[in-house]
Amino acid sequence: MMIEVGQLVREVRASAVRVIEDELDWEHLPHVHAFAFESIALNHADRNGWDARVVLRGGQALRMTVTLDADRLGYCNRTFDEEGYEIGRTTCRTLPAGDERTTMRLRFFVPDHPGLDIAAAGEFYATLWNQLIDEDEPKMIHRARALKEGAKLHKSRRQVALADGSIIDVPLACPHQGLPLDCEPDAHGVMICPWHGYRFDARTGQCLSGQISGWTNRAAGALD
Ligand code: FES
Ligand SMILES: [Fe+2]
């Protein structure tokens, strides 16, 4: 039986739609939350949630599922060990708290067992989720901006230097979700987006990891 061990109530500077979008976004876990997750491999995803195998920092493998509430204003995040036993459950409800502000109400559940230290378990989950949400909040804010600015944002370029000294134009915003492409080309001219880890050839704009088509490259200094 799962019992409640703690709660967390906190505000984020983003709409509930962005909060829910972030929870549906399974791909960001090992990149935005690298402190907690080593890797993720998807089993299934649809508009109501996802099911994946995740490996935590330190090597523990888990199955994680996310299911949206019927009204799409909350979700349930569950983890299972390799035998299929549920080992943790977090539920979240969102409440609008003004313009681009949402209150998240999270509740944490673990399996009841003799000797369970409820206070310690509650503290563990509250601290963990606070950090996860601290890392998600900038992503939600950037995402809202990307949706507002649309094509204009995607046209903005900056210059980067390649290992051979050449200077090229690359987009300011990643062509995947319009989040800041805040990374420099490595020695091979590869840029790895910090948000979902998509890899791009800085020179051609091609997405080397294959999920999207990337950007169309232009000569350095070309006018918009
Ligand atoms: S925004 Fe998703 S990989 Fe860049
Ligand atoms: Fe997240």
- pLDDT score, position 218: 60
21 CA from centroid of ligand 2 (Å): 10
Distances (CA, A) of 223 to 8, 54, 103, 194: 49, 44, 43, 27
pLDDT digits (tens, 9 = 90+) for 23-76: 999 999 999 999 999 999 999 999 999 999 999 999 999 999 999 999 999 999
Locus of tokens 């109400």: 105
Q: Structural domains in the chain? A: 2-149 (3.30.530.20), 153-224 (2.102.10.10)
Q: pTM for the whole thing?
A: 0.93
**What residues does ligand 1 touch, defined as CB less than 6 Å away?**
174, 176-177, 179, 193, 195-196, 198
Ligand 1 atom closest to residue 178's alpha carbon, by position in its atom list = 1
Distances (CA, A) of 90 to 65, 85, 128, 184, 194: 11, 15, 11, 36, 26
30 CA from centroid of ligand 2 (Å): 9
Q: Is 41 helix (H, G, I), strand (E, B) or coil?
A: strand
User: What is the share, in percent, of the chain residues with pLDDT greater than 90?
Assistant: 93
pLDDT digits (tens, 9 = 90+) for 100-127: 999 999 999 999 999 999 999 999 999 9
Give the integer Cα–Cα distance in Å for 196 and 183.
Answer: 12
Ligand 1 atom closest to residue 181's alpha carbon, by position in its atom list = 4
Ligand 1 atom closest to residue 211's alpha carbon, by position in its atom list = 3
- pLDDT score, position 154: 87
Backbone angles phi, psi at 121, to 5 degrees: -65, -40
